[in-house]
Amino acid sequence: MPTVALHTLGCKLNYAETSAIARQFLDRGFQLVDFGMQADVTVLNTCSVTDRADRECRQLIRRSRRASRNSFVLVTGCYAQLEPEEVASIEGVSAVLGSTEKFRIFDHLRDFALPSSPKVFVSDVLTNHDFGPAFSSEGVGRTRAFLKIQDGCDFNCSFCTIPLARGGSRSQDPEECLAQARMLVSQGYKEIVLTGVNVGDYGKASNRSLLGLLRDLEKVPGLERVRISSIEPNLLSDDLIRFVAGSSAVCHHFHIPLQSGDDAVLRSMRRRYHSAQYQDLIGRIKQAIPDCGIGVDVIVGFPGETDGQFERTCNFIENLPVSYLHVFTYSERPNTPASAFSNPVRPEVRYHRSRVLRMLGQRKKVEFHQAMVGQTEVVLFESQTESNLRFGFTRNYVRVGVPETEAEENTLRTVQILEAGIDSCVGIPLCDRVAV
């Protein structure tokens, strides 16, 4: 039986798409093996949001070759789409497939004999109207599945390569989303995370909406939780906030990119809001959903960002009731407007600012955890155990551990939070199962 190893870099959307790629191989009799083992075919689904992602991809290609010298190495994803010739030039690469082609691997590759030179199949994303349905599905016993509902982006932030790598915004048909959700529930999943490049843009071309899809998903029998992976602040409406506040299934958790707390930097980034609007949005969320967990993306070291503007971002975030930060150090990406901007920030300054914000993010997270102590929360437990504790997540995305013998994988338990830590809390179950 031929074997295939897969590895994913980047976002939750990439993980969902890697599962779709895996199914192409499973349907044709391949056996999945762990990345780094001997395999007949190795597939890397890449990211290209930062130059670090590009470097990591190149390192993984070389690592796969060391582990499996005669493996057919197939590279796909955003890095492959944006820089196909560069990827093809890396020693050991056998084939490069673009964003559209990764969903039709066997249409392009009839066999996996090692070629004399890399095969490259990359089409122009401007002509890409395919969706490429994808969802993660790894069998009964796993707790969360990632369901791709949207792809591409019509926004043109000056730092971002995603529209170049994935094309314009497009959405999966609601009935197909619901069919896949029902299938995932039948496989034992209790939580579905909705993924996409710009999830808030869902259904725009067909007069559908994310809110409408959430209303339909809430009615799927056996689906106990729905989580939104990330949503742009200008697309998070009051109607959506009110619905989440009153929903028994949709998680009290939003991940909302900010990128900067300085309005001049936001304009340079071509973001579609200013800081006062973002602050007002967070206030409305916390008023409607006091226990809501709110994650924030921030970019530091953007071209022209002064010490004063960075300090303004720090102060802005300091005064926001948010739960955690994802901090990104700006890196120049080819063919983006920002790569040509004047006054680049020195690398050592970028890294210093990143450390400062990461420390602030850690403090925010601890404060959010401390506010949970004494609260009673519903936790969906996963397989992961550490130090005789089994861990899971509350609906507002707090990681909670209880004694391993007190909770089973893929069960919902009511837990009282007793202690708060940096990365998680510790609690004790109060009953066997939550009535839904």
What are the tens digits of pLDDT across the range 133-164? 667 754 434 688 999 999 999 999 999 998 88
Residue 55 located in a structural domain = yes
**What are the backbone angles phi and psi of residue 334, rounded to the nearest 5°?**
-55, 145
pLDDT of amino acid 141: 46
Say yes or no: 154 and 178 in one domain: yes
In one-letter notation, the amino acid at residue 19 is: S
What's the total number of domains in the chain?
4
215 in the same domain as 270: no
CATH of the domain at 197: 3.30.750.210
Q: What pLDDT is attached to residue 432? A: 53
Q: How many CA atoms lie within 13 A of 327 on its CB side?
A: 23
Choosing from 325, 351, 371, the residue where a domain stops is 371
Strands 72-77 and 93-97: parallel
**Please, what is the Cα angle at 95 between 92 and 96, to 5 degrees?**
115
For residues 140 and 184, state if they share a domain: yes
| DSSP H stretches of helix in 303-417 | 307-318, 347-372
pLDDT of residue 11: 79
Examine residue 170 and state whether it is found in any structural domain, yes or no.
yes
Residue 94 near residue 114 (C-beta atoms within 8 A):
yes
Same domain flag for 347 and 264: yes
Is the backbone of residue 139 left (phi > 0), alpha (psi -120 to 50) or beta?
A: left
Question: What's the CA gap between 16 and 133, in Å, rounded?
Answer: 9
Question: What is the extent of the structural domain holding 140?
Answer: 130-251
Task: Answer with the one of 331, 355, 371 that is the final residue of a domain.
Answer: 371
Residues 88 and 32 in one domain: yes
Q: How far apart are CA 226 and CA 223, in angstroms?
A: 8
Q: Do the domain assignments include residue 25?
A: yes
pLDDT (tens digit per residue) in 284-334: 999 999 999 999 999 999 999 999 999 999 999 999 999 999 999 999 998
Same domain, 162 and 242: yes
- CATH code of residue 327: 3.30.750.200
DSSP 263-287: HHHHHHHT-SS-HHHHHHHHHHHHH
Of 371, 392, 408, the one marking the end of a domain is 371
What is the C-alpha to C-alpha distance for residues 171 and 360, in angstroms, rounded to an integer?
36
| Separation of alpha carbons 93 and 228, rounded Å | 35
Q: Report how far residue 305's alpha carbon sits from residue 19's, in angstroms, rounded to the nearest whole number.
A: 39
Q: Specify whether 304 is located in the same domain as 213.
A: no
Q: What is the pLDDT of residue 136?
A: 72
Q: Look at residue 218 and tell me if it is in a domain.
A: yes
In a domain, 435, yes or no: no
Q: Are residues 260 and 344 in the same domain?
A: yes
Q: In this structure, which long-range contacts are made by residues 179-185, counting pairs with CB atoms below 8 Å and at least 24 apart in sequence?
A: 180/133, 180/135, 180/147, 181/147, 181/217, 181/220, 181/223, 182/220, 182/221, 183/137, 184/135, 184/137, 184/145, 184/147, 185/220, 185/221, 185/222, 185/223
Q: Are strands 399-403 and 376-386 parallel, antiparallel or unpaired?
A: unpaired
Asked whether residue 326 falls in the same domain as residue 363, the answer is yes
Around Cβ 357, how many Cβ atoms within 10 Å? 23
Whether 434 maps to a domain, the answer reads no
What stretch of H or E contains 58?
helix 51-67
Domain shared by 155 and 247, yes or no: yes
Same domain, 88 and 134: no
Residues 48 and 139 in one domain: no
Q: In whole angstroms, what is the distance from residue 335 CA to residue 339 CA?
A: 7
Low-confidence ranges of the chain (pLDDT < 50): 138-141, 433-436
Kindly state whether residue 317 falls inside one of the protein's structural domains: yes
In a domain? residue 315 = yes
CATH assignment of the domain containing 385: 2.40.50.140
